[in-house]
Amino acid sequence: MSQRIKIKALLASTETGKDVTVKGWVRTFRNNQFIALNDGSTNSNIQIVVDFENTDAALLKRITTGAAISVVGELVQSLGKGQTVEVKAKEIKILGDSDPEKYPLQPKKHSLEFLREIAHLRFRTNTFGAIFRVRNSLAFAVHQFFQERGFVYLHTPIITASDAEGAGETFHVTNFDIANPPKTDTGEIDYKQDFFGRATNLTVSGQLEGELGAMALSDIYTFGPTFRAENSNTTRHLAEFWMIEPEMAFYDIVDNMDLAEAMLKYVIKYALDNNKEDIEFLTQRLTEEEKQKPQNERSEMSLLEKLQFCLDNDFERLTYTEAIEILRESTPNKKKKFQYQVEGWGTDLQSEHERYLVEKHFKKPVILTNYPKEIKSFYMRQNDDGKTVAAMDILFPGIGEIIGGSQREERLDKLEQRMDEIGIPKDELWWYLDTRRFGACPHAGFGLGFERLVLFVTGMGNIRDVIPFPRFPKNAEF
């Protein structure tokens, strides 16, 4: 008996006349004769032709949607439409039955909302097969991009005592009996008695530790899970998401932007080159979905065109101040169509504003720089105007912010002064400040929200559909 061959390789094979072994899950079984079999190696199924007259009726009954089977048969040229080869079954084994009465994934169109409820099975649909193969490629491409450039992949801690972004949206980590934690004399929870001897939380970002690495290794990147307890029930936020955070010594903000733009283009191109079939499938899916919308809400470009457009064009670069001017003068602002009016300099941009800039005004990815220091984190480098910091956010069509980054404040006095202003305890970050004491140098970095990238490349509309098991308020199923 020949060894198992994956369906992707089989469909590309021209060696008809040979016996092959395939294994997979039954998608459909038509007329007691044609099995569409899928093993996840590709979106396409292999057709198995069953000689039903010479096959045990009891076995035929067990070939049901969702069942796992093993097939030995001859690879032959297909007479049917839609495939070049098929397998003429000689022997079929049921590896795992699937009761058709109970199997939740019927061979019909299910809503994405329903599939989210059966996320343990949704990998078995065409859409989610494609999404997770694309996600895999993007992750690989991220590593390849940085490795080709000599970056060191650094593993920063998941459990930490710091809140890197200073936004206070952390998940606590404790070993206490939460109904009865030990208390101090003054009645506060006594974290000295906790596992780490202090209060700890899940990381919101690996940046601060990443900076320590860059101050010796020059160029590092992290790629790991991050956790935020922000109560945002949106299509763009997760409580657990994956972030890529490069940090580069001797980079200024322009170097930082150049690297970020090059990285995004590289990984998108990698997916286009290596996941053609999946992206074509997802393009078609999106086009179908958009047909449900009124004409004026449909996108001008298909998913494939959007991705290609992103590769072919320079991102638009402008300052926050310039963006505010554009937004203030924009038609939706004048007609009071924005939920949040853009009035003065200094306010944070809402996602509707970011999307207006990208989708309506520039019609391409945008890099915004030099934000007011009040709306950005303490570690960003202060500009000479005394008002802004060397921040850069990259905004993408349909997504809004995909990357947030900055040149870092390397001047100890400036950094300490800013921490005092905002009330960030310097003693807790003594190690971070040490890098400003010993061999400080200009450096910069950014964070790419991996799921937002996957959203963009797959054309999906909800971030909960591009991570296998999403974590969001009131949900931690699976």
Sign of the alpha-carbon dihedral angle for 231, 236, 241, 242: negative
- Per-residue HEC secondary structure of 193-247 comes to HCCCCCCEEECCCCHHHHHHHHHHHCEEEEEEEEECCCCCCCCCCCCEEEEEEEE
Q: 86, 245, 409, 410: which one contacts ligand 4AD (CB under 6 A)? A: 245
Nearer to Mg ion among residue 10 and residue 366 (C-beta): 366
- Alpha-carbon gap, residue 346 to 177, rounded angstroms: 44
Q: Are 89 and 68 in contact (CB under 8 A)?
A: no
**Closest C-alpha to 164, from 373, 391, 447:** 447
Tell the smallest beta-carbon distance from residue 403 to Mg ion (Å): 8
Nearer to ligand 4AD among residue 281 and residue 378 (C-beta): 378
- Alpha-carbon gap, residue 195 to 73, rounded angstroms: 59
Q: 46, 67, 142, 243: which one contacts ligand 4AD (CB under 6 A)? A: 243
Count of alpha carbons within 13 angstroms of residue 130, beta-carbon side: 24
Can residue 362 be called a binding residue for ligand 4AD (CB under 6 A)?
no
Nearer to ligand 4AD among residue 241 and residue 356 (C-beta): 241
Can residue 238 be called a binding residue for ligand 4AD (CB under 6 A)?
yes
Range 180-219, binding ligand 4AD (CB under 6 A):
205, 207
Angle at alpha carbon of residue 284, lines to 126 and 113, rounded to 5° = 55
Please give the DSSP secondary-structure letter assigned to residue 20: E
Range 135-164, binding ligand 4AD (CB under 6 A):
164
- Among ligand 4AD, Mg ion, none, what does residue 129 contact (CB within 5–8 Å per kind)? none
**Closest C-alpha to 400, from 235, 270, 246:** 235
Sign of the alpha-carbon dihedral angle for 162, 167, 419, 421: negative
Nearer to ligand 4AD among residue 191 and residue 227 (C-beta): 227
Range 393-432, binding Mg ion (CB under 5 A):
404
Q: 122, 124, 133, 237: which one contacts ligand 4AD (CB under 6 A)? A: 237
Angle at alpha carbon of residue 241, lines to 240 and 243, rounded to 5° = 140
Q: What is the largest CA-CA distance in the chain?
A: 85
Q: Binding-site residue total for ligand 4AD (CB under 6 A)?
A: 22
Q: 122, 133, 228, 306: which one contacts ligand 4AD (CB under 6 A)? A: 228
Q: Are 236 and 354 in contact (CB under 8 A)?
A: no
Can residue 402 be called a binding residue for ligand 4AD (CB under 6 A)?
yes
Nearer to ligand 4AD among residue 92 and residue 424 (C-beta): 424
With CB atoms as reference, the residue minimizing the distance to Mg ion is: 404
With CB atoms as reference, the residue minimizing the distance to ligand 4AD is: 449
Q: 129, 213, 442, 445: which one contacts ligand 4AD (CB under 6 A)? A: 445
Using the contact rule CB under 6 A, the part of the chain among 88-96, 143-151, 173-181, 402-410 near ligand 4AD is 402-410
Question: Which residues lie below 8 Å from residue 39, measured CB to CB, with a gap of 6+?
Answer: 6, 7, 22, 23, 24, 25
Using the contact rule CB under 6 A, the part of the chain among 45-53, 301-309, 316-324, 444-452 near ligand 4AD is 444-452
Binding site for ligand 4AD (CB under 6 A): 164-165, 205, 207, 228, 230, 237-238, 241, 243, 245, 401-405, 445-447, 449, 451-452
Residues that bind Mg ion (CB under 5 A): 404
